[in-house]
Amino acid sequence: MNLTQSPMGKLILSVLLILLTSFYCFGQQAKYVFYFIGDGMGPAHVATTEAYLAATEDEIGFQKLSFTNFPATGFATTYAENRLITGSAAAGTALAAGQKTTINTIGMNADRSKNFKSIAEEARDNGFKVGIISSVSIDHATPASFYAHQPTRSMYYEISLDLPKSGFDFFGGGGFADPYKDNSVSTSVFEIAGLSGYTITSTRATFDSLQPGHGKIIAMGTKLESSGALPYAIDQNDADIPLEEFVDKAIAILDNENGFFIVCEEGKIDWAAHANDGASVIQNVISLSMSVEEALEFYYQHPDETLIVVTADHETGGLSMGSSRMKYDSDLKLLGKQKISFQNFSYLVDSVLVKKGEDKPTFEFVMGLVDAYFGLGGTNGSPLSEEELEIFYQAYLHSIGEVSSLNGINYGGYNPIAVTTTDILNQRAGIGWNSYSHTALPVPVFAIGVGHEMFNGYYDNTDIPKKIAEIMGMQNWSSGELK
Amino acid sequence: MNLTQSPMGKLILSVLLILLTSFYCFGQQAKYVFYFIGDGMGPAHVATTEAYLAATEDEIGFQKLSFTNFPATGFATTYAENRLITGSAAAGTALAAGQKTTINTIGMNADRSKNFKSIAEEARDNGFKVGIISSVSIDHATPASFYAHQPTRSMYYEISLDLPKSGFDFFGGGGFADPYKDNSVSTSVFEIAGLSGYTITSTRATFDSLQPGHGKIIAMGTKLESSGALPYAIDQNDADIPLEEFVDKAIAILDNENGFFIVCEEGKIDWAAHANDGASVIQNVISLSMSVEEALEFYYQHPDETLIVVTADHETGGLSMGSSRMKYDSDLKLLGKQKISFQNFSYLVDSVLVKKGEDKPTFEFVMGLVDAYFGLGGTNGSPLSEEELEIFYQAYLHSIGEVSSLNGINYGGYNPIAVTTTDILNQRAGIGWNSYSHTALPVPVFAIGVGHEMFNGYYDNTDIPKKIAEIMGMQNWSSGELK
C-alpha cells in the first residue's frame, strides 16, 4: 500500500501525524543533548571527506558520514561583532551563549564588561549533568566558551581556573595549554582542580577505570602535544585514546535520569585546515563522524528524548574540491599516501634541518622524506615534474636559511618544505585552499532527534544555542549577565 | 499567550497542525512550480553576495536575499556519472531528468543510447503550461536539458531544433548560440520555430506587447552577446530586459487553471565565476534574487498551491570569502568600484591592445583604464604597491605579445590584463578563488511553498526533480526512456 496515495494510507498517515503532533506540542523535550562542533569545518571539509571515502573504494561520489544523513540541515552565518571573519573565541561564545562578541573574547560581551551565561551553565543550573570534550586543549577558545569568562583567549591559565569553578561533571580530551602560567605560579591548574574535587586521569588504565560515582572528572589523552592537544587523528596509534572514546566515556559517566548536555569539539580540523593539510583534515572529520556515531548509538536507545546537533564555529582555509592544477579532474585517493600530519612532518624536517653549526642534510635526503611520508617523487611515489622539483628546491633553500624571503612567498609562516609538500599533494589530488586563515563562509548544521526540524533554514550561529535551549525546555535562559 | 507553552496555546497549535496535516495528506499538490537554477552558485556565491550587500551599508554581517529566508534548506551533491566534478550538461540533465549521465550529454543516458523524459516534458503531458528561461542562450546546456536530447552540448543547432519540438509554451531570456549551424544551413532555427507556431520577440516593444493568447513564445533580450546570452547584470542598462522581467512575463503568459512549471536559470553566475570576477558574480546573484522575488509575489497570492525551489547545478571557481592576502580582514565594499564585467573589460582592453601593425598603447594608458573601471591605482583609485604594478606589467607584456608564457602563468586562458585586474581587486576585497573551473562542492537548495519540507536534508541533485514531481502529483513519472 502506498501510504501517500491510497485513501486508507492517507488516513493512517494523518492519524499518526496527529498523534506525533499532539505528543510534540504537549511537552516533548530533549533530556539528552549532544552538541558537536567541528572547528573550522565548512561544507567543503565535510564533502571532501565524503568524496575521499568514496574514492578509496574507487567510486565517484560521496560516502555518507554519520551525521550527513541527519534529517535536518541548515546554514549558519558566523561573523563576529567587530569582524566579518570570526575567530574561535567570538564564534565559540556565539555557539555557547547565543550572543555576538568581539574577536578573542571568551564568554563575555563585546566590551568585556559583563559575563554571558552559557547554555552549558544554564543546563547545569537546570539539573542536567554537563560534559565538555575537545581534541585540542580543554582551555582552548571553543571549549572554554562554555565554562569560562575571560577578556582574551590567550589567558589560558585564567581560563583553566574557571574550569573547576564551573562545577561541570566531565571534561575530556586534551589537557591544559599553560597549567603553570608560564612557570610563574607554584600551584598548577591540576592541583587547583584536584582541590575542587576533580579526579584527573592521563593514562589508559585510569581512563578505563572511570565509572559513574567517581565524582567530577578531567580525563586527558595519554599522549598530548606541547599545546595540550590530542595528536592529529592521522598520527594517533593504539596507545592513544581517540575522541570517540571520550564521548563514549562521557555518556557512561553522565547518563542519569535528569539528563545531560555534552559538548564535543573536534578542534584539529581547524588546525589542519590552517596548514592547508587536506589529508589531516579528512582524518579529523572522520574522527568527528565516529564521535557522533557514539552519540547516535545512544540516540537509537532514547530516540524520543535525545537531540544531536553537529555544526562548526567557522570555515578555515577556503577549502575547495577542485584545484587550478587539476581543473575538472580529481584524484582524491592520492591523499591516502600521506602517512603523517603536516605538523609531525614539520617536526621531522626541522629536526634534521635545524642543526646549527652542523652540516645540513642534502636536498636529496629531504626529498627522500617527502617520498617516504607523502608518496611524492623518488622511487615509490608519483614522479615530480621539473617545475615541482624547483619549487621544492626553493623551499629547501628557504628552510636551511640560505634565502630568507623568496618572491614574497612566506609559506604562511609554516615550515617551507612541509607546506610545499602538502600543497603539491593537495593540488594533485584536486583540492585547493584559498587562505591559511578562517573565512566568513557560513557553516553547515545537521540535527537529529527531538526538535530537529528547528535546525532547518539559514540563520545565525547565535540562534543555535537558543534553539537547543528551547528544545531542552530552558525557555527562561537569557544569555545576558551571569548571575 | 505563548503558543508553545500555555496549555491553551498547545491545544490551539495541535488543532492547527492536525488541520494542516490532514490537508496535506488528502491531496495538497503544487499547481504552480518555479525551479530556479543559479548556474555555478555554491554556498559561497550566495553568502558573499549577502555580505557584500551588508558591506555597502557599512554593516558587518549578511543581508538576506529573497530566497535565503526560505524555510527549507538542503545540500545537494552534483557529481556526474563519469566525473566527480560535473559539467552543466550532466548536472542539467540530473536536475531535469533525475538521472546521472556523462559529461556533456544533454537529456540522454550515460552511453547516449536513450533519451530521458524530463520533468518539464512530464509536466507538459500532465497539462501544466511550461516555461524555460535563461540569462545565457536558451540552447545552453542547463535550459537545454529540460527540452532537448542530444549526445553533446556543443551541438547547439541540433539542440535548438529540439526546442520547437518540445511544444513548451514560453522560452525567454537569451537567444540562440548557433542559429545557422555555423552558416552551413539556409533555414535558421528562427524560421523553423516560426513555422512551428512560435512568436519570436527581440525588442522591448514586442516584448511588452506579449499577452496571454499570443500562443507559444520565444522572448529574447534586446541586446544579446555574440554567444546569444543577455549581458552581465553589471553591464545591463535601461535598454535591456532584465531576467526578472522574463519571469514576470512568463507568469503573465502561463497563468492558467491547470497550473504551470517554470524553469529559470541565471547562467552568468557561472560565467563570471569561471573568470573569477567577484563583482559580476554578485550582481548576477542579485539578478537571480530579484527573479525569485517575482515568483514570491505570485506565491503570496497562491501560497497553498505554489512551490519555489532555488538551487544550482554545481559550484564554479572554488570561491571563498577570505583571501590569503587579507587573511582575517575583508573590504567587500571595494567590489562596488568595479564598473563593468571582466568580459566587457577584456573586450575593451583587446580593442586597444590588439592592433597589429600599429603602435601599441603604453602601459600607462592601460593602467588608466584599470583605474577608471576598477578604481585601482592612478589618481582616483586605491594606490597600487610596487609588487602589484610589477604583476600588472608582466600581464601587459603578455597581452601585447612581448612574452608568450611567464613562469607558467597562463591567466586561465583569459585576457591577462583583465584577469589580473579582477584578481587584485578580489584579493583586496577579501575574496579568493581556487580554480577557473567547476568544483565538486555540494550546492545549496532553498524551498518555500507546498511540500517545501522535502527539500531539507543532504541528498543528490537527481533527487530534486523527483521531489518536485511528487509534490506536483506526477508520481508516475519515471525518468527513463522518452515515450
Instruction: Report the chain B residue with the minimal C-alpha distance to residue A325.
Output: B435
With CB atoms and an 8 Å threshold, state whether B17 touches A4: no
| pLDDT classification of B180: cutoffs 50, 70, 90 | very high
Which residue in A448, A471, A469, A466 sits closest to A65, CA to CA? A448
Which residue in A463, A462, A466, A464 sits closest to A478, CA to CA? A466
Q: Nearest-CA distance from B254 to chain A in Å?
A: 28
Instruction: Report the chain B residue with the minimal C-alpha distance to residue A3.
Output: B25
* Contacts of B341 by beta carbon, 8 Å cutoff, 6+ apart: B231, B232, B234, B235, B272, B277, B279, B280
Each residue's pLDDT tens digit, A456-468: 999 999 999 999 9
pLDDT for position A25: 46
Distance (Å, whole) CA B4 – CA B313: 39
Instruction: Report the chain B residue with the minimal C-alpha distance to residue A429.
Output: B84
The single residue listed with the C-alpha cell 624536517 is: A349
pLDDT for position A17: 58
| pLDDT classification of A62: cutoffs 50, 70, 90 | very high
| pLDDT classification of A11: cutoffs 50, 70, 90 | low
DSSP string, A188-201: -HHHHHHHTTEEEE
Among B20, B103, B410, B435, most A C-beta atoms within 10 A, so best to mutate, is B435
Q: Nearest-CA distance from B349 to chain A in Å?
A: 25
> CB-based burial of residue A308 (10 Å sphere; 0-12 exposed, 13-18 middle, 19+ buried)?
buried
With CB atoms and an 8 Å threshold, state whether A47 touches B440: yes
Q: Across residues B72-97, what is the average pLDDT?
A: 98
Distance (Å, whole) CA B114 – CA B108: 6
The single residue listed with the C-alpha cell 587579507 is: B326
Question: Hey, how many other C-beta atoms are within 10 angstroms of the C-beta on B184?
Answer: 8
Instruction: Report the chain A residue with the minimal C-alpha distance to residue B459.
Output: A69
Q: Which of B69, B324, B436 sits opposite A434 (nearest CB)?
A: B324
Question: Hey, how many other C-beta atoms are within 10 angstroms of the C-beta on B303?
Answer: 11
Q: How many CA atoms lie within 13 A of A384 on its CB side?
A: 23
| pLDDT classification of B150: cutoffs 50, 70, 90 | very high
Q: What is the ipTM of this complex?
A: 0.93
Q: Measuring CA to CA, how many Å separate B125 from each of A134, B108, B121?
A: 56, 19, 6
| pLDDT classification of A347: cutoffs 50, 70, 90 | very high
Among A57, A85, A452, most B C-beta atoms within 10 A, so best to mutate, is A85
pLDDT for position B351: 86
| pLDDT classification of A26: cutoffs 50, 70, 90 | very low
Q: Decide if pLDDT at A429 tops 50.
A: yes
| pLDDT classification of B26: cutoffs 50, 70, 90 | very low
With CB atoms and an 8 Å threshold, state whether B320 touches A321: no
| Pair A128, A180: CB distance under 8 Å | no
Q: Across residues A149-154, what is the average pLDDT?
A: 98
- Phi, psi (5° rounding) for residue B444? -80, 155
pLDDT for position A150: 98
pLDDT for position B408: 52
Which residue in A422, A24, A22, A453 sits closest to A234, CA to CA? A422
Q: Decide if pLDDT at B330 tops 60.
A: yes
Instruction: Report the chain A residue with the minimal C-alpha distance to residue B276.
Output: A324
With CB atoms and an 8 Å threshold, state whether A60 touches B44: no
Tell me the chain A residues in contact with residue B70 when contact means C-beta distances shorter than 8 Å: 457-458
pLDDT for position B329: 97
| pLDDT classification of A343: cutoffs 50, 70, 90 | very high
Q: Across residues A8-12, what is the average pLDDT?
A: 57
Portion of chain B with pLDDT greater than 70, in percent: 91
| pLDDT classification of B479: cutoffs 50, 70, 90 | low
Tell me the chain B residues in contact with residue A329 when contact means C-beta distances shorter than 8 Å: 83, 85
| Pair A349, A421: CB distance under 8 Å | no
Distance (Å, whole) CA B79 – CA B156: 24
Among B441, B462, B472, B475, most A C-beta atoms within 10 A, so best to mutate, is B441
Tell me the chain A residues in contact with residue B11 when contact means C-beta distances shorter than 8 Å: 25
Among A6, A41, A153, A328, most B C-beta atoms within 10 A, so best to mutate, is A328
pLDDT for position A19: 53
The single residue listed with the C-alpha cell 603578455 is: B398
Q: Nearest-CA distance from B288 to chain A in Å?
A: 18
Q: Decide if pLDDT at A321 tops 80.
A: yes
Q: Which of B64, B322, B440 sits opposite A440 (nearest CB)?
A: B322
Q: Across residues A271-299, what is the average pLDDT?
A: 98
Distance (Å, whole) CA A170 – CA A129: 8
Instruction: Report the chain A residue with the minimal C-alpha distance to residue B320.
Output: A318
Residue scoring higher pLDDT (B145 or B214): B145
Instruction: Report the chain A residue with the minimal C-alpha distance to residue B74.
Output: A73
With CB atoms and an 8 Å threshold, state whether A14 touches B22: yes
Return contacts of A366-375, CB within 8 angstroms, 24+ apart.
A366/A396, A366/A399, A366/A417, A367/A392, A369/A345, A370/A417, A370/A421, A372/A339, A373/A338, A373/A339, A373/A340, A373/A345, A373/A348, A374/A337, A374/A338, A374/A339, A374/A345, A374/A421, A374/A422, A374/A425, A375/A334, A375/A337, A375/A338
Q: Which of A14, A327, A387 sits opposite B435 (nearest CB)?
A: A327
Each residue's pLDDT tens digit, A186-225: 999 999 999 999 999 999 999 999 999 889 999 999 999 9
Distance (Å, whole) CA B416 – CA B412: 9
Tell me the chain B residues in contact with residue A446 when contact means C-beta distances shorter than 8 Å: 458
Q: Rounded to two decimals, what is the model's pTM?
A: 0.94
Each residue's pLDDT tens digit, A218-252: 999 999 999 999 999 999 999 999 999 999 999 99
Q: Decide if pLDDT at A28 tops 50.
A: yes
Q: Which of A43, A55, A87 sits opposite B43 (nearest CB)?
A: A43
Q: Which of B77, B323, B408 sits opposite A434 (nearest CB)?
A: B323
Q: Across residues B458-476, what is the average pLDDT?
A: 97
Q: Decide if pLDDT at A425 tops 80.
A: yes
Q: Across residues B339-352, what is the average pLDDT?
A: 92
Which residues are registered as beta bridge partners of A172? A133, A219
Q: Nearest-CA distance from A73 to chain B in Å?
A: 5
- In terms of phi and psi (left: phi > 0; alpha: psi -120 to 50; beta: otherwise), the region of B311 is beta
- In terms of phi and psi (left: phi > 0; alpha: psi -120 to 50; beta: otherwise), the region of A324 is alpha
pLDDT for position A400: 83
Q: Which of B14, B64, B85 sits opposite A25 (nearest CB)?
A: B14
| pLDDT classification of B401: cutoffs 50, 70, 90 | confident
Distance (Å, whole) CA A150 – CA A156: 9
Distance (Å, whole) CA B283 – CA A383: 44
Q: Across residues B86-107, what is the average pLDDT?
A: 98
Q: Decide if pLDDT at A10 tops 60.
A: no
Each residue's pLDDT tens digit, B154-168: 999 999 999 999 999
Q: Across residues A77-104, what is the average pLDDT?
A: 98
pLDDT for position A5: 54
Dmax (CA) of chain A = 87
Q: Across residues A411-430, what is the average pLDDT?
A: 92
Q: Across residues B89-96, what is the average pLDDT?
A: 98
Among B100, B448, B456, B463, most A C-beta atoms within 10 A, so best to mutate, is B456
Distance (Å, whole) CA A47 – CA A281: 11
Q: Nearest-CA distance from A296 to chain B in Å?
A: 17
Q: Which three cell numbers stand for residue A213?
A: 560515582
Each residue's pLDDT tens digit, B228-287: 999 999 999 999 999 999 999 999 999 999 999 999 999 999 999 999 999 999 999 999
pLDDT for position B400: 83
Q: Which of A320, A329, A408 sits opposite B441 (nearest CB)?
A: A320
